[in-house]
Amino acid sequence: MASLKAAASLVLAAMLTGCCLISAFPGGAGACARDDWQDLVEDGHYEEAFSQLDRGAIAHTNLYSNMLAYDILNVVVHRDAVTQDELLCSPVLAKYPNSFSWTMQSCKLLQSYLANGTLDQEILPVLERSFSRDDQYDWWLPVLKSLG
Q: Rounded distance, CA 50 to CA 143, Å?
A: 12
Angle of helix 64-78 relative to helix 102-116, nearest 10 degrees, comes to: 30
Residue 1's pLDDT band, with cuts at 50, 70 and 90, is: low
Query: Taking 90 as the threshold, does the pLDDT of residue 97 lie above it?
Result: yes
Q: What is the DSSP letter of 79?
A: G
Tally of domains within the chain? 1
pTM of the model: 0.75
Q: Rounded distance, CA 42 to CA 62, Å?
A: 24
Residue 6 domain-assigned (yes or no): no
Residue 16 domain-assigned (yes or no): no
Residue 27 domain-assigned (yes or no): no
Q: 81: domain range?
A: 34-145
Residue 101 domain-assigned (yes or no): yes
pLDDT tens profile 10-52: 444 454 444 544 443 333 333 343 348 888 999 999 999 999 9
